[in-house]
Structure 1
Amino acid sequence: MIKENADKLIIEYSPKIYGFAVKKAFSLEESEELAAEMVKEVYLSLLEANEVFNVEGYVWRICEHTYAKYVNSTKKHQGISLDGMEIPYYDNYNLGEKDKDLKKLRQEIGFLSEKRRQIIYSFYYEGKSIQKIATEEDLSEGTIKWHLNKARNDLKENFSMERKVGSLGISPIEAICFDHNGQPGIKGGPEVYLDDKINLNIVYSVYDSPKTKEGIAEEMGMTPVYLEDRIAFLAKNGFLVETSGKRYTTYVKFTPRERSLEQEEEILKSKIKVADSILKNYVPKVKEAIKKITDIYIPSGNPELFEATAIFYAIANKFDLPIVKNVSPYLIKTLDGGEYYVTVNLKSEIIDPDFKPILEESTRDYTACGSMTRNSWKYPTVKAWSNDNRFSTRKGMWQNNLNTDYDAIYEVICGDIEDNKANEEKFKRLRERGFITDDGRLNVLVVKKTMEEFDALIPSTEKEQLDEFAKIAIEQAVMLAKNYPPQMQDFIVFEFVKWYVDNTIAMIVLDKLYDSGEYKPLTQSEKATVNLLVFSDRLPQ
């Protein structure tokens, strides 16, 4: 190219080349140095070229090539500029006083939306053109420019903002255990999703107030880029629920981190009152009803064992107190087929440690797992009901209550298997559960009826009594709900009233029967089978 034409082109493109250098350079001084190098390379190339058909593309290819050489050869070049704020180009930079600012800028990029963050990375880190980014993102070039402009403005605004790490970023919560009421999925219950500490704290971060992805990230002291996939996963499985303004909440119940001994005793006092009423007015009806059941196998020969189990079953299943609340949002539906209400039990601090409980029952453990129903996978005529608590010696709660246990029990009932090498694992399992005695006898209560037939024999509760108990329960429930965030209060009232006559009341009733001497204490062998019923079309031979 003749010198005159090259001079004209270099005069035309010098301001553009300088702008390109400013965008790429780390400082003003460096931009001037880089621009001078680019102008020199472009000018020399123009002089040597015979003919240039696409001057624009030719100039920018040379500038990109010059910039690449500059990056590789100049140690000082450790970042690229974004309208006056530097974005680190390498990970192994060491910028002294600027190091803190660069880390802050990186953090703020992490708080951009996923789309905007990807465009920033493509444009500034990878050096892609707007046209190429538009093609890759399937957006117009104007939209890409708009995103870049919005990202710059967001970064400028947030760069000087002091982000506060929430309490979960400093002291994350830990679950004592997970409870569910309903049907677990193929993979298991809520622990499959929430046993991961980050997942658990993501859900808890929105418990007291809804938060955006960015708000969740701030609360946890992390950037959204590390949490987005987890948030999407938890939302798909029902543990997070998106609300207005792209914020998330949850309908998972977390037990309060503070508890009052006085309030707990007031609730227990009300349950003792209900237990007394049930013992006086309802238990005699259950005892009378089960006299009709004659086809029953009682391993110890003690009729009190069956009677106590039937009473527990009746209290746990026949006191459905009336309460009208829409609790469908609280039912967690997972992709693996789970459908259950979830409770995460947290460690709690007593706010009134000086309170002295006056009830003897306050010292007793009312933890229970159930009512659990199980079917035999192989034998459709077999079903089981059980409740694990301090009356029984069964361990492992619902996770250790396997459908296959009842396959093996039915085979023992029918005499179809022998205790030999071929069935070693089955009998080992039955002995571990206490379902086979040392002398080889089946140690399980077996009723020769379907569970539905048995349930039909158990008397229902009169409406007047249900209404009376519901009134007591609602009074306690309203007070209890104040310990929970607003979105959970309807469920707390519903749950408390619906299952107010629960395992605790059933255990109080049994305590009274045993403490009074009406029932003899359970033997070690009986503790393996109490509060467990197997319903079968056959009794043990």
Structure 2
Amino acid sequence: MLQQNGFDESMIRRYSKRIFGFALAKTGHRQNAEDLAQEIAIALLRSVRSGKRIDNWDSWVYTLCFYTWSNYVNKEKRHWRHADIDDVPWVASGEPPQSRIGEEDGLERLAMEVACLSKRHRDIAIRYYYDRESVDRIAASLAIAPGTVKWHLFEARKKLREGLNMNAEAKSLSFKPVRLGVGHNGTPGPNGEPNCYFQSLVVSNIFAAAYDKPLTVEEIARTIGVGAAYVEDEIDKCEKSDLLRRTGNGKYQTNFIIETLADKAEESALLRAGAETIAKPIYDAVSSRLDDIRALGFRGSDANDAFLLWAFVPYAVYRHYGSVKDADYYKRYQPPERKDGGKYIVAARIIEEPSEYERVIPDYDIVRKYVANGIKSRSSGPYSSLQMETWWSGLQWRYFDAPQLSEMARIVELIESGEAHGEYDKLLISRMVEAGYASNEGGRLKSLVPFFTKEQFREFNAIVDEAFAAIEAKPVLENVHDQFVRLWKKLAPAHIAETEIVNKAMNSGGMIIFAIMEVLERRGLLPLPAEEEKKRLTTILWSRK
């Protein structure tokens, strides 16, 4: 543990985020930022180990950041094609930053403000002030009037003054960039849209900056502390996908919902209140019909009661929550067709430090289980499956897609026909045994998950529907949905489309499935699954032929 010069591990944690924020603001690229941040950290470690007395750590770390940045630029700028605006005089001077700390601060701020200008303002300002080109030469090369060049220079100077005088709080995202957790509801685009758009931290922060109100490219750039050239390039892609909308006057606004920590707290409160009311009646309704369901004779029906209820209770809630409105309602709020070829709604949330969730969300130890890593509905030929990645299955992503579904269907076919296993059969059996979905003890092949025939599945659904009708579950679940629609009409910015709001309500309200499971587990009605059972927990398969 470091204990030199008063520097310890807590200070490493304290400064690491600041160092990375500085590096990202300077480079505008995550990989470059990580490289620069690592070099700064190494320089900081060396200075600590030197034994030199340091009275003001904030000032010293600040100085090291700039010194390392200077060296980094001098070393790397030959590889850069976007760095003209950053090659301010102090960088190329070779003079140690410590001796020019006052001047470098101003120059760095000025360079950052130049980087935040729109492309035309930025290009003309650099050519005039940095490259010393005349107004006439710039005008001729751009095929515009000299007066237009002067207007651009005037506007650039005005915006630079405004930027330099802006309150630092307006740039909070440049010091504390956000990370978005992103998924989607619906069909992705051919290149994995929308998830592929969010591979850059810059993109996430563009969306966060322009969420509450429309901003120009320059305003976005200043807010997130990244050169406008990066912002322009990303905005162009995101506007084509309708994830950003142009609002007029050269401004853009995020066109989907971003869930914040405060939003999550309100959602969790609704889910807990609803689950505490309905969990026990739903459990009683399904468990009281378990013998009737078993009597259908589906494959896997000999599993223990708890394992089957871990599958049947969430399936029943999923089935009925997804049909609390009529068919026209769901048709009306289908995800929109996107210009990128997808048909989806973006599901985004700001990722916080774990301690923040505990600080902001009441009873976080309980409500943190109201999550899913996926509710996966799959089909392969005449077969279908539903698998939920829950807290109790470890929130892992179990690969159970069309190929695995086909292999389980073949296993059931082998069980029913009794035919000899070919070489390929032996291979797929070994895969499904290893994955935990089947067993083959003593040569006796067996499905370890519920697998229904078409008729059995129809009767299973009829039993579930009767059980839910008996406790009048539909109006309770419909109320959960309606509460979430009202909540998101309140929380979402005014420009967000109703389709986005209703889909968000469907998705967030659907977490009532897992809130109900949490209540049943906490009250001891559902014992925790065995470690080996987690491989196949909450998985149902059926035939449609």
Counterpart in the other structure of 2:387: 386
- Structure with bigger helix share is 2
Q: Is the 8 A contact 1:286 1:459 kept in 2?
A: no
Amino acid at match of 2:158: E
Separation in structure 2 between the aligned mates of residue 262 and residue 102 of structure 1, nearest angstrom: 45
Task: Tell me which of 431, 437, 461 is aligned to 1:435.
Answer: 437
Alignment partner of 1:183 is 2:182:
no
Task: Tell me which of 210, 214, 220 is aligned to 2:218.
Answer: 214
Question: Using a 3 Å threshold, how does the CA distance of structure 1 residues 271 and 513 change in structure 2: closer, same or farther?
Answer: closer
Describe the superposition over 1:346-370 as per-residue Cα deviations: whole angstroms up to 9, x where unpaired. 216659959975x9x9377232244
Separation in structure 2 between the aligned mates of residue 170 and residue 364 of structure 1, nearest angstrom: 28
Task: Tell me which of 227, 236, 243 is aligned to 2:240.
Answer: 236
Task: Tell me which of 530, 534, 541 is aligned to 1:534.
Answer: 541
DSSP 3-state at the match of 2:376: strand
Q: Is the 8 A contact 2:135 2:149 kept in 1?
A: no
1:223: Cα distance to partner? Answer: 2.2
Amino acid at match of 2:465: P
Counterpart in the other structure of 1:158: 159
Amino acid at match of 1:371: I
Q: Is the 8 A contact 2:185 2:335 kept in 1?
A: no
Separation in structure 1 between the aligned mates of residue 457 and residue 237 of structure 2, nearest angstrom: 39
Counterpart in the other structure of 1:395: 396
Q: Is the 8 A contact 1:331 1:341 kept in 2?
A: no
1:208: Cα distance to partner? Answer: 2.3
Counterpart in the other structure of 1:19: none
1:316: Cα distance to partner? Answer: 0.6
1:497: Cα distance to partner? Answer: 5.1
Amino acid at match of 1:408: E
Question: Using a 3 Å threshold, how does the CA distance of structure 1 residues 147 and 410 change in structure 2: closer, same or farther?
Answer: farther
Task: Tell me which of 238, 255, 261 is aligned to 1:257.
Answer: 261
Question: Using a 3 Å threshold, how does the CA distance of structure 1 residues 424 and 196 change in structure 2: closer, same or farther?
Answer: farther
Separation in structure 1 between the aligned mates of residue 292 and residue 255 of structure 2, nearest angstrom: 41
1:418: Cα distance to partner? Answer: 5.5
Counterpart in the other structure of 2:340: 335
Separation in structure 1 between the aligned mates of residue 92 and residue 261 of structure 2, nearest angstrom: 43
Question: Using a 3 Å threshold, how does the CA distance of structure 1 residues 381 and 129 change in structure 2: closer, same or farther?
Answer: same
> Number of aligned pairs?
435
Question: Using a 3 Å threshold, how does the CA distance of structure 1 residues 486 and 351 change in structure 2: closer, same or farther?
Answer: farther
DSSP 3-state at the match of 1:297: coil
DSSP 3-state at the match of 2:313: helix
1:157: Cα distance to partner? Answer: 1.9
The TM-score normalised by the length of structure 1 is: 0.63
Amino acid at match of 2:383: V
Counterpart in the other structure of 1:404: 403
Amino acid at match of 1:272: E
Describe the superposition over 1:196-255 as per-residue Cα deviations: whole angstroms up to 9, x where unpaired. 211111111112222111111000112212221111122223332222322222233333
Q: Is the 8 A contact 1:205 1:216 kept in 2?
A: yes
Counterpart in the other structure of 1:149: 150
Question: Using a 3 Å threshold, how does the CA distance of structure 1 residues 246 and 425 change in structure 2: closer, same or farther?
Answer: farther
1:415-494 equivalences in 2 (<5 Å): 415=414, 429-437=431-439, 439=441, 441-449=446-454, 453=458, 457=462, 458-459=464-465, 466-471=474-479, 474-475=482-483, 478=486, 482=490, 485-487=493-495, 494=502
Describe the superposition over 1:67-115 as per-residue Cα deviations: whole angstroms up to 9, x where unpaired. xxxxxxxxxxxxxxxxxxxx98999468999988776665555444334
Counterpart in the other structure of 1:316: 318
1:477: Cα distance to partner? Answer: 5.8
Q: Is the 8 A contact 1:120 1:148 kept in 2?
A: no
Question: Using a 3 Å threshold, how does the CA distance of structure 1 residues 436 and 283 change in structure 2: closer, same or farther?
Answer: closer
Question: Using a 3 Å threshold, how does the CA distance of structure 1 residues 91 and 318 change in structure 2: closer, same or farther?
Answer: same
Amino acid at match of 1:504: I
1:36-47 equivalences in 2 (<5 Å): none
Q: Is the 8 A contact 1:261 1:352 kept in 2?
A: no
The TM-score normalised by the length of structure 2 is: 0.63
1:270-281 equivalences in 2 (<5 Å): 270-279=274-283
Amino acid at match of 1:367: V
Separation in structure 1 between the aligned mates of residue 105 and residue 527 of structure 2, nearest angstrom: 73
Identity, in percent, stands at: 16
Separation in structure 2 between the aligned mates of residue 418 and residue 438 of structure 1, nearest angstrom: 12
1:192: Cα distance to partner? Answer: 2.6
Separation in structure 2 between the aligned mates of residue 443 and residue 156 of structure 1, nearest angstrom: 71
Amino acid at match of 2:224: M
Amino acid at match of 1:151: H
Separation in structure 1 between the aligned mates of residue 127 and residue 139 of structure 2, nearest angstrom: 7
1:181: Cα distance to partner? Answer: 2.4
Q: CA RMSD in A?
A: 4.9
Question: Using a 3 Å threshold, how does the CA distance of structure 1 residues 256 and 491 change in structure 2: closer, same or farther?
Answer: farther
Question: Using a 3 Å threshold, how does the CA distance of structure 1 residues 159 and 502 change in structure 2: closer, same or farther?
Answer: closer
Alignment partner of 1:246 is 2:250:
yes
Counterpart in the other structure of 1:25: none
Separation in structure 1 between the aligned mates of residue 330 and residue 252 of structure 2, nearest angstrom: 23
Is the deviation greater in 453-462 or in 435-444?
453-462
1:410: Cα distance to partner? Answer: 3.0
Counterpart in the other structure of 1:194: 198
Unpaired segments ≥5 residues, structure 2: 1-86
Counterpart in the other structure of 1:283: 286
1:168: Cα distance to partner? Answer: 0.9
Amino acid at match of 1:383: S
Amino acid at match of 2:450: L
Question: Using a 3 Å threshold, how does the CA distance of structure 1 residues 309 and 477 change in structure 2: closer, same or farther?
Answer: same
